[in-house]
Structure 1
Amino acid sequence: MPARRPLRRPPTVGSLVALALAAGLLAAPQATADGGAGSAAVRIHDIQGTTRVSPLAGQQVTDVPGVVTAVRAFGSSRGFWVQDPQADRNPATSEAIFVFTGSTAPAVAVGDAVLVSGTVTEYYPGGEAAGLQSVTQLTKATATVRSSGNTLPAAFRLRPSSVPDRYAPDAGGGSIEKLPLKPASYALDRYESLEGMRVALRDAPVVGATSEHKDLWVTAEPHRDRTDRGGSLYGSYRDPGAGRVKVASLIPYAQRPFPVANVGDELTGTTAGPLDYNNFGGYTVQATELGTLTDRGLSREKTRGQKSDELAVATYNVENLSPKTPQAKFDRLASALVTNLASPDIVALEEVQDDNGTTDDGVVDAGQTLKKLTDAIAAAGGPAYEWRQISPVNGQDGGQPGGNIRTAFLFNPARVSFTDTRGGDATTPVTVVREGGKAALSASPGRVDPANPAWTNSRKPLAGQFTFRGERVFVVVNHFNSKGGDQGLDSRFQPPARTSEVQRTQQAKSVNAFVKQLLAVDRRANVIVAGDLNDYQFSPAVKALTAGGVLTDLVDRLPRDERYGYVFQGNSQVLDHMLTSGHVRRVDYDIVHINAEFADQASDHDPQVLRWKP
């Protein structure tokens, strides 16, 4: 493979110099930072500097020259981007900056050559405590228009040769703010060196579907770590997809509606605009030019039906389902269970809310929620599912306040029987007993280890005992604590801290210990552990869950480019899992892609199903 050429921004010669002269941008003797007589003229690259924080932060600057490249005239963060066509020779220094005007619409237009005065500030999206990087900007600013209709500086092209494969420098968990930027070495440094500047992507593959906020994710590396359906695979902590950037739009909606794209589609042609940074996705192309959406025809998958001698078990996070949820969502979930998942014999559900949803009045039962779902399944031509669940103590299991989310089982009594054993409630731990030489549950359904501090403000696992064709089967459905509070992949702290991981690892150890109890009584016990673990197949939590070889994570048996069922910030990743004990062999496992890659979702999770022949 030929050696890569040194990375550098497009040269500033000829026409750009002429443009700067014509616009009056080369003559700026008043552009000074407040520092006393004799201060040198200040240009944007002087403000941006060679690290993430401006060397002039907190200072006043006067008559800084540039050309307006984009205007944000809506929202509470209005302002405009100004870029200096007279670039320096240092690729680490950005040539553009955002001028913040607050709630006031900017009084400039794209193409205006301006002299801007204001205070240099570092803005931390989400607040400094959120751990994200800062945006260097000018506030309390005034602008003098010198000329209009000027040609804009050429956009920097984001592509494999200009975006390094390595994502971020390693500071041992400390801040990278004061480290010299190395845009040829790290993707985050490359993006930071372009902060505010015009950037462009050509024929950009969509790796994160259009959201309700009218944005999507693309990748500048179209041939690296792609899934079998066109996404960007998140396969390890060290490789979080360096080419991913978000695309939003500055184009008025009436002039150009934002494209509704699914993963695998493409923004054909050029997508360009200033490179922004925010707390809803990090580096974002604020597009002033959008490529044309090319629909690649992504379809929703359907798994095969189970054979008469196969037990089919599924897991599905139904995302805050309650009787207040629109009927259309119940119908879509039901249709998916019947058609796309082929009516599994057992369904492990997560995020089932109580009977009045987020109304916080002490109601904890979920009978109406589950009845509405099973009625919809029957109406869709599915089986007459029964359900089993245990209501939590009010307000003790996390999730949306008042919602009292919990895990639950659906099962088809025509295919599988549930062993009802009294004694299970919100606070009583289920234990393993010996019955006829085999393992059995002291309560079914029963909660696993509910008093363990690992489950504080989190959903407790639900264990159930089933029988299929004479075989006793134990299913444990889980919903581990969320990733709330973790630092983002693009954090100024590298590597980012994953503080929520500590609790999930303790939760995994709790479930692992319960499975060991089952196997200690009967080493041939058929155990299936399923649910939303909120963690990756390579995480410490999943390693703790499978410790001692008591469980096998089935996702590891899939081809690498199929190991995902959730898409976040353009990363196709694994959060939901199905694991089996050693006696559950000859398993056919499928992640059924019907939600996560699509702009139109019934849930943000894809369901999974395994089929097992005892």
Structure 2
Amino acid sequence: MPSKSSARLAALTVAAVCSAASAVALTSPAHADSVRIHDIQGSTRISSYAGQKVTDVAGIVTGVRTYGSSRGFWIQDPNPDDNPATSEGIFVFTSSTPKVAVGDSVTVTGTVSEYVPGGASSGNQSVTEITKPTVTTVSTGNAVPAPTVIDAKSVPARYAPAGDTAASGSINGLTLQPSTYALDYYESLEGMNVQVADARVVTATDPYSELWVTVKAHEHRTPSGGTLYGSYDSQNTGRLQIQSLGATADFPKANVGDMLTGTTAGPLDFNQFGGYTLVANQLGTLKSGGLQRETTKKQSRGELAVATYNVENLDPSDKTFDAHAAAIVNNLQSPDIVSLEEIQDNNGATDDGTVAADVTVNKLIDAIVAAGGPKYDWRSINPVNDQDGGEPGGNIRQVFLFNPERVSFVDRAGGDSTTAVGVTKVHGKAQLTASPGRIDPADDAWKSSRKPLAGEFVFRGRTVFVIANHLNSKGGDQGLTAQYQPPVRSSETQRHAQATLVNAFVKSILDVQKNADVIALGDMNDFEFSDTAKILEGHGELWSAIKSLPKSERYTYDYQGNQQVLDQILISPSIRRSCKFEYDSVHVNSEFNDQISDHDPQVLRFRP
């Protein structure tokens, strides 16, 4: 998943803005006389009135958004029809601060529009809106229509219908079946006043004052209180995003497993970053679940501890060095080898040709020493400027930290940013042609992406090959709430090509030395059940060690209410067969509102 940025915050404020670039183009009559909200919403996702002017649409104001560029208000008809597929609520986009208040009875004349948050290329569903409105207040102080209760009983177990093959897999033209599919149920409530009660938090509060809850307490629950995403058919229908129409300073700072007790109520919106969202007029009271950061077991004298940790665009200007150091020393128990992902160059996002990262790495090493940890040594290869993706100018790369008191690095000259590392046979053993070295850096599979870093280590006389990875991100994939079902995962194409090269390199080591200890680890940006993981594993060359954990504990990341695997440590047969390894996903970040990275680190302990 892509790291969050200021662009996301800007986009969040325009989630309901109508623009010609992202509106659904439909041919429809030029004008329609007075209609009801449920007539406009209809029983499909696209209004039959899209593009039309409608007059004197009546409703009670249920919510007002006065901030950002998405200013407007929601109205709801207090006299619903008898069709559960037709919503009784709708958003009125005003662009400027609305001159209405909750409880006003109004009539609205304007143009019906279908706005696609994120633009048509995102594949998102659209939001039915009334734009360019003329608003007449009929009366004030009216009772707001009672919120529809969203709970475990009301949300169907099935997630979404299959898209219409004649419409490129879109569900837009399908008649809603709100008692059968969760996405249809939520769509049937679009714009309406809804509520959840005593809902458990399944994604912690983020910097944009939003969190996720579940209304299904037992749906794929993890030990911490989250919700596991364990397969492509496990979308988890009880998840719902919560934002607030109030001040962001008042938004609760929640961790996974906390509860929003009492009632949380407000209009049901749809936005680019998560889909269906309850925008609350009323927020429940936060009750702590007491979640604590985890600490792994210390490796024994004869065990080698190897870890992977995505430190999220770390550069010298960041204020998280001490916190990262404390996590490595205390929570990870000072592993012997640490593969770091997203180490940026010495001036971070400044795009001036700087590629060296020695200032960044040494600042972290010094912080680790200050935290009571070992004086790590390190190895890496600087990328070619602006060729490895990530934040422009940042030149992210993988870095090996290693404790020279416990493990030694085999330095073998010849590795650089553009030279491919190979494998040779020396005295019957596998050996890298360069250490450190990069795997096939000129291959198109690595275009605008991080190249794997391979290194040769020695622990107690035994050689261990370690490959640090940061595969292509999921940026560009359609979301789970997309109008296309199943969603298209376009990023897989490049990631599969990358996984193929990594597996082939591991195979080249094992072809020379069948019993070689090989570890491929890092931010794989894909699930342990994915085709990416299957390609990495190949025909038994590697095995994802996270699968040694109980299924409910297999996660390293928390995204939109789904706890999932993005980071993995894959091991060769000699390590797996020994039955002397332990794997731990150490949850110190993903479940917490004060996280220092959006990824949890992992540790593998074994006896080479």
TM range (shorter): over 0.9
Q: Which residue of 2 aligns with 1:145?
A: 137
What do residues 198-228 of structure 1 show as CA deviations (whole Å, max 9, x unaligned)? 1110101000110111111111211111111
Greater C-alpha Rg: 1
Q: Which residue of 1 aligns with 2:491?
A: 500
Q: Which residue of 2 aligns with 1:525?
A: 516
The one-letter code matched in structure 2 to 1:603 is S
SS at match of 1:519: helix
Q: Which residue of 2 aligns with 1:124?
A: 116
Residues 113 and 147 in structure 1, CA contact (< 8 A), matched pair in contact too: yes
Residues 33 and 54 in structure 2, CA contact (< 8 A), matched pair in contact too: no
Matches within 5 A, 1:571-610: 571-584=562-575, 585=578, 586-610=580-604
Return the alpha-carbon distance in structure 2 between the equivalents of residues 34 and 234 of structure 1. 44
Amino-acid identity (%) = 60
Q: Which residue of 1 aligns with 2:162?
A: 170
Matches within 5 A, 1:383-398: 383-398=374-389
Deviation at 1:252, TM superposition (A): 3.6
Return the alpha-carbon distance in structure 1 between the equivalents of residues 384 and 546 of structure 2. 33
Indicate whether 1:206 and 2:201 are aligned.
yes
Residues 30 and 53 in structure 2, CA contact (< 8 A), matched pair in contact too: no
Deviation at 1:40, TM superposition (A): 6.9
Return the alpha-carbon distance in structure 2 between the equivalents of residues 292 and 423 of structure 1. 60
Q: Which residue of 2 aligns with 1:8?
A: none
Return the alpha-carbon distance in structure 2 between the equivalents of residues 253 and 414 of structure 1. 48
CA RMSD of aligned residues (A): 1.2
SS at match of 2:494: helix
Q: Which residue of 2 aligns with 1:233?
A: 228
Return the alpha-carbon distance in structure 2 between the equivalents of residues 359 and 198 of structure 1. 46
The one-letter code matched in structure 2 to 1:315 is T
Deviation at 1:163, TM superposition (A): 0.6
The one-letter code matched in structure 1 to 2:470 is H
* Aligned counterpart in structure 2 of residue 320 of structure 1, from 313, 316, 338: 313
Return the alpha-carbon distance in structure 1 between the equivalents of residues 421 and 126 of structure 2. 49
Residues 34 and 54 in structure 2, CA contact (< 8 A), matched pair in contact too: no
Q: Which residue of 2 aligns with 1:488?
A: 479
Larger mean CA deviation between 121-130 and 528-537 belongs to 121-130
Residues 465 and 519 in structure 2, CA contact (< 8 A), matched pair in contact too: yes
Return the alpha-carbon distance in structure 1 between the equivalents of residues 41 and 112 of structure 2. 9
Return the alpha-carbon distance in structure 1 between the equivalents of residues 331 and 549 of structure 2. 19
Deviation at 1:251, TM superposition (A): 2.3
What do residues 108-128 of structure 1 show as CA deviations (whole Å, max 9, x unaligned)? 111111111111111111112
Deviation at 1:194, TM superposition (A): 0.3
- The aligned length equals 575
Q: Which residue of 2 aligns with 1:470?
A: 461
Indicate whether 1:294 and 2:291 are aligned.
no
SS at match of 1:535: coil
Residues 34 and 61 in structure 1, CA contact (< 8 A), matched pair in contact too: no
Indicate whether 1:115 and 2:107 are aligned.
yes
SS at match of 1:373: helix
Q: Which residue of 1 aligns with 2:535?
A: 544
Deviation at 1:451, TM superposition (A): 1.5
The one-letter code matched in structure 1 to 2:170 is S
Q: Which residue of 2 aligns with 1:399?
A: 390
SS at match of 2:237: coil
Return the alpha-carbon distance in structure 2 between the equivalents of residues 121 and 226 of structure 1. 39
* Aligned counterpart in structure 2 of residue 562 of structure 1, from 553, 566, 588: 553
Q: Which residue of 1 aligns with 2:87?
A: 94
What do residues 7-56 of structure 1 show as CA deviations (whole Å, max 9, x unaligned)? xxxxxxxxxxxxxxxxxxxxxxxxxx9778xx775100000000001011
Q: Which residue of 2 aligns with 1:21?
A: none
Return the alpha-carbon distance in structure 1 between the equivalents of residues 85 and 267 of structure 2. 17
SS at match of 1:407: strand
The one-letter code matched in structure 1 to 2:594 is D
What do residues 458-496 of structure 1 show as CA deviations (whole Å, max 9, x unaligned)? 000001101111111000000001111111111111111
The one-letter code matched in structure 1 to 2:590 is A
Return the alpha-carbon distance in structure 1 between the equivalents of residues 144 and 366 of structure 2. 60
Residues 415 and 437 in structure 2, CA contact (< 8 A), matched pair in contact too: yes
Return the alpha-carbon distance in structure 1 between the equivalents of residues 361 and 375 of structure 2. 12
The one-letter code matched in structure 2 to 1:182 is Q
Q: Which residue of 1 aligns with 2:435?
A: 444
Return the alpha-carbon distance in structure 2 between the equivalents of residues 40 and 93 of structure 1. 19
Q: Which residue of 2 aligns with 1:14?
A: none
Indicate whether 1:184 and 2:184 are aligned.
no
Q: Which residue of 2 aligns with 1:13?
A: none
The one-letter code matched in structure 2 to 1:472 is T
SS at match of 2:313: strand
SS at match of 2:94: strand
The one-letter code matched in structure 2 to 1:581 is S
Residues 30 and 51 in structure 2, CA contact (< 8 A), matched pair in contact too: no
The one-letter code matched in structure 2 to 1:144 is T
Return the alpha-carbon distance in structure 2 between the equivalents of residues 169 and 151 of structure 1. 36
Indicate whether 1:216 and 2:224 are aligned.
no
Return the alpha-carbon distance in structure 1 between the equivalents of residues 447 and 67 of structure 2. 42
SS at match of 1:168: coil
Deviation at 1:99, TM superposition (A): 0.5
* Aligned counterpart in structure 2 of residue 280 of structure 1, from 273, 298, 302: 273
The one-letter code matched in structure 2 to 1:160 is A
* Aligned counterpart in structure 1 of residue 59 of structure 2, from 51, 62, 66: 66
Indicate whether 1:534 and 2:525 are aligned.
yes
Residues 244 and 570 in structure 1, CA contact (< 8 A), matched pair in contact too: yes
SS at match of 1:334: helix
Larger mean CA deviation between 315-324 and 169-178 belongs to 169-178
Return the alpha-carbon distance in structure 2 between the equivalents of residues 321 and 106 of structure 1. 42
The one-letter code matched in structure 1 to 2:263 is T
Return the alpha-carbon distance in structure 2 between the equivalents of residues 252 and 151 of structure 1. 24
Distance 1:253 1:578, change over 3 A: closer
Return the alpha-carbon distance in structure 2 between the equivalents of residues 224 and 253 of structure 1. 29
Query: Structure 2: any 5+ residue segments left out of the alignment?
Result: 1-27
Q: Which residue of 1 aligns with 2:9?
A: none
Residues 166 and 239 in structure 1, CA contact (< 8 A), matched pair in contact too: no
Return the alpha-carbon distance in structure 1 between the equivalents of residues 359 and 30 of structure 2. 69
The one-letter code matched in structure 2 to 1:46 is D
Q: Give structure 1 regions of 4+ aligned residues with deviation exceeding 2 angstroms.
A: 33-36, 251-254
Q: Which residue of 2 aligns with 1:338?
A: 329
Residues 381 and 417 in structure 2, CA contact (< 8 A), matched pair in contact too: yes
Return the alpha-carbon distance in structure 1 between the equivalents of residues 121 and 308 of structure 2. 36
SS at match of 1:378: helix
Residues 155 and 272 in structure 1, CA contact (< 8 A), matched pair in contact too: yes
Q: Which residue of 2 aligns with 1:611?
A: 605
Return the alpha-carbon distance in structure 2 between the equivalents of residues 304 and 549 of structure 1. 28
SS at match of 1:232: coil
Query: Structure 1: any 5+ residue segments left out of the alignment?
Result: 1-32
Indicate whether 1:196 and 2:196 are aligned.
no
Residues 91 and 193 in structure 1, CA contact (< 8 A), matched pair in contact too: yes
Q: Which residue of 2 aligns with 1:81?
A: 74
Q: Which residue of 1 aligns with 2:128?
A: 136
The one-letter code matched in structure 1 to 2:236 is G
SS at match of 2:573: coil
Matches within 5 A, 1:10-25: none
